[in-house]
Every structure is written in C-alpha cells, then in structure tokens.
Amino acid sequence: MIENDHEFSCPHCGAEMSVRLDVVGGSKQSFVYDCEVCCRPIHITVVLEGHDVTDFQAEIE
C-alpha cells in the first residue's frame, strides 16, 4: 500500500485536516470520513493519476 496525505477543509465546520489516501487503491475512490473536530460525516471522492490527485471533493454526507 502506497499512501499520500491530502489536506482539505471540513465542509461542515471549516476545520483544516488531512486524510491518508491509498494511491494504489484504484483511480477513482469514494468513502466517508468523519471530521476530527465536529465528528460529522464527510463524503470524499478522489480521482488519481498515478500517485497524483487530479480531483478531490469533500462534501456533506
């Protein structure tokens, strides 16, 4: 497993945080991640080209 950290803001409370992405887990990934500050669920969608993030969406679940 090769991982990269990606920083983003929580769409609920605006807190800055990072999520660890598995760059060999497929070119398009979707999962739910709980905010470390407000504990609300965030729906994350990631598109990767190799080890590079080409699109990252963090939306209210």
Query: What pLDDT score was predicted for residue 2?
Result: 76
Residues of the chain with pLDDT under 70: 1
Report the alpha-carbon distance of residue 49 to residue 39 in Å, rounded. Answer: 30
Q: b or e along 5-17 (b: 16 or more beta carbons within 10 Å of the residue's beta carbon)? A: eeebebebeeeeb
At a CB cut-off of 8 Å and minimum separation 6, what does 11 contact?
Answer: 42, 58, 59, 60
Query: What pLDDT score was predicted for residue 46?
Result: 96
